Amino acid sequence: MTKQLLGKEVSASIRAELKTEIDTFTGRKPGLAVILVGENPASKVYVGMKKKTCADLGIESFEHILSQDATEDELVALLNGLNADDAVDGILLQLPLPSHMDEDKMLNTISPEKDVDGFHPQNVGKLLQGQRTFKSCTPYGVMEILKFYDIDPAGKHVVILGRSNIVGKPLAAMMVQKESGANATVTICHSRTQNLESITKQADILVAAIGIPEYVTASMVKEGAVVVDVGINRVDAPETEKGSKLVGDVAYDEVSSVASAITPVPGGVGPMTIAMLMKNTVTAFKEHQAPLDSI
Amino acid sequence: MTKQLLGKEVSASIRAELKTEIDTFTGRKPGLAVILVGENPASKVYVGMKKKTCADLGIESFEHILSQDATEDELVALLNGLNADDAVDGILLQLPLPSHMDEDKMLNTISPEKDVDGFHPQNVGKLLQGQRTFKSCTPYGVMEILKFYDIDPAGKHVVILGRSNIVGKPLAAMMVQKESGANATVTICHSRTQNLESITKQADILVAAIGIPEYVTASMVKEGAVVVDVGINRVDAPETEKGSKLVGDVAYDEVSSVASAITPVPGGVGPMTIAMLMKNTVTAFKEHQAPLDSI
């Protein structure tokens, strides 16, 4: 019987722990600034979900909306103001930005101490070097799902499909560390990989993060492997009322028959991203408070 | 016939190119500050080699020697002074530091713009994210050897033995990038890896960087693989006049009979590290000059 790895439950457990902790904070509450530039409908939905989760947990959220034609200078000025604002522990710049903006440059403007998304190069570098830092939320969520279900990657072969800066690369960086909950042998595959199936078939833990609907089929998966599906793709589904549905990067039904455990889509990795963002915000809050407490 | 990949020749070619370029610079020459803390004999040798190479190429070197019992505050003060010194384009802090110093903290004090060793987390993060930055010298040297001999890692399976911050991790970061000369499928193995031989045997390009003399034997290598040996280990050799000799992490004689190409030790990867340090220093010089030129 294939086990479902329910990020929905894992994230609920993390949010509950955070709420309990936040309730003990006297005085100011953790603060998260959320910046939306432009009119991307999906971005609006994500920002709304983040604000709602903040409200549920007792994190103060500060929303900043810039128009589609805002300049880089305007955004930099806003970010610098938030960097200096003591009520703001974490800054989230919702991606993608309008095409006239340099995303790397804008992300690099966020103070590494407030970079709760874990995208600033300094934090990514610390992550790879094994130093303490904010971990990118989605791959951090993958690590937490495995931990929750007592799946220890140590010594195992973890094959990651996809080399994006927000999932594949930071996940590889986390998995390879010499520390508890990691210690995996890590392979990163991508569009240029030769003999892909022969490599994915070796995975004890296979992580799909390539953004291609139902790309991973049963023949690519070893019997008994753990399969983590990071993909969230909307595809046509004329049979449904909406006319579309969400699927992952894994062909769930057929891969379920081979895998020992698998994350569904939706309800798998998806809900983890916001939970880890909240966790990073609380961590940032505690670090910002510490120097004050010690006065 | 197994091809020898001679870093000695590659580095000579890079140094010659750099010298030609440096000779064209009018006015101030590139400057490299080299800091040695304490009395480690091997470190003294390395610092001496770096100074000599600087002199050969026309790079000005500034040597700073602190005593074994120097404090972190003294080193930080020195680094801050060098960060602000316009004659200094690159800063090299020779490792290891005495045990009472926090290496990460000291390395993080070096301005990322002068971090020609590529160890600052901000530069490591940029490297992993595929942004332009200083690349750590030894793995950068590995990439240059492959390039020199027209060995393209694209689509190939590169297996890296070792997950150190100075070789294994940054090399994986370079190899996996979506760019010319990279694009490899990358696997990182280490002390916790299960079924190691079955993984190394898949490597089209096998890189050994674990610091164990002659660890990689013929049975671990696929027929026709390219083998890059980053190890430099001194071992007893009663038959020699010195009583010891240098060997790599690869059992050279037996692996040569299987590999299609291999780096020897010495004369392989070793000479590349200083060459790439010089290249990074010249790059830093040009970037520091640029704003002045454009006044």
Active site positions of B, annotated: 50, 94, 117
- Residue A236 pLDDT > 80, yes or no? yes
Was domain B137-268 assigned CATH 3.40.50.720? yes
- The predicted model gives A6-28 an average pLDDT of 97
Cβ neighbours of B172 in A, within 8 Å:
172, 176, 188
Residue A20 pLDDT grade (very low, low, confident, very high; cuts 50, 70, 90): very high
**Interchain contact, B178 vs A163, CB within 8 Å:** yes
pLDDT (mean) for A178-182: 97
Mean pLDDT over B105-126 rounds to: 97
- Bridge partners of residue B160, in order along the sequence: B188, B207
Burial (CB count within 10 angstroms: exposed 0-12, middle 13-18, buried 19+), residue A279 = buried
For residue B289, the model assigns a pLDDT of 84
Residues B148-183 have pLDDT tens digits of: 999 999 999 999 999 999 999 999 999 999 999 999
Count other C-beta atoms under 10 Å from residue A126's C-beta. Answer: 24
Q: Does A176 touch chain B (CB under 8 A)?
A: yes
Q: What is the pLDDT of residues B235-272, one digit of tens each?
A: 999 999 999 999 999 999 999 999 999 999 999 999 99
- Indicate the residue of B104, B129, B172 with minimum beta-carbon distance to A124: B129
The CATH superfamily label for domain B26-111 reads Leucine Dehydrogenase, chain A, domain 1 (3.40.50.10860)
Which among B121, B163, B177 is the nearest to A178, CB-wise?
Answer: B163
Answer yes or no: is pLDDT of A295 > 50.
no
CB contact under 8 A, A194 and B157: yes
At A45, list the tokens.
């939905």
Integer Cα distance of B218 and B258 in angstroms = 6
| Contact (CB<8Å) B124/A124 | yes
Q: How close is the nearest chain B Cα to the Cα of A290, in Å?
A: 19
What does the pLDDT read at residue B294? Answer: 47
pLDDT at B196: 97
**CATH 3.40.50.720 spans which residues of chain A?**
137-270
Determine the distance in angstroms separating the CA of A142 from the nearest CA of chain B, rounded to an integer: 19
Q: Which residues of A are less than 8 Å from B130 in CB distance?
A: 165
Percent of chain B with pLDDT over 70: 98
**Distance (Å, rounded) from C-alpha B142 to C-alpha A235?**
43
Q: What is the ipTM of this complex?
A: 0.95
Condensed to tens digits (0 to 9), the pLDDT of residues B70-101 reads: 999 999 999 999 999 999 999 999 999 999 99
Q: What is the pLDDT, as a whole number, of residue A1?
A: 81
pLDDT at A294 over 80: no
DSSP string, B250-289: B-HHHHHTT-SEE--SSSSSHHHHHHHHHHHHHHHHHHHH
Task: Place A211 in a pLDDT band, splitting at 50, 70 and 90.
Answer: very high
Percent of chain A topping pLDDT 70: 98
Give percent of chain A above pLDDT 90.
97
Closest residue in A to B164 (Cα–Cα): A129
Averaged pLDDT for residues A78-85? 98
Distance from CA of B79 to the nearest CA of A (A): 19
Give pLDDT tens digits for A102-134: 999 999 999 999 999 999 999 999 999 999 999
- The class (CATH top level) of A27-111 is alpha beta
Residue of B nearest to A130 (CA): B165
**pLDDT recorded at residue A293:** 46
Among partner residues A130, A133, A188, which is closest to B186 by beta-carbon distance? A188
Question: Average pLDDT, whole number, for chain B?
Answer: 96
CA distance A153 to A181: 6
B295 pLDDT more than 70: no
Residue A9 near residue A263 (C-beta atoms within 8 A): no
A180 and chain B in contact, CB less than 8 A: no
CA angle at B271 for the pair B19 and B285, rounded to the nearest 5°: 40
Confidence of residue B1 (pLDDT cuts 50, 70, 90): confident
Tell me the average pLDDT across B12-32.
Answer: 97
Place A291 in a pLDDT band, splitting at 50, 70 and 90.
Answer: low
Class of domain A137-270: alpha beta
Distance from CA of B30 to the nearest CA of A (A): 26
Residue ranges of chain B that CATH labels 3.40.50.720: 137-268
Q: Which residue of B has its CA nearest to A164?
A: B129
Give the burial string for A207-217 (b: 16+ CB within 10 Å, else e).
bbbbeebbbbe
Q: Which residue of A has its CA nearest to B175?
A: A188
pLDDT greater than 70 at residue B291? no
pLDDT at B18 over 90: yes
Mean pLDDT confidence for A177-197: 97
A 10 A CB-CB count for B219 gives 11
Q: Which residues in chain A are classed under CATH 3.40.50.10860?
A: 27-111
State whether A130 and B165 contact (CB < 8 Å).
Answer: yes
In this prediction, residue A290 carries a pLDDT of 74
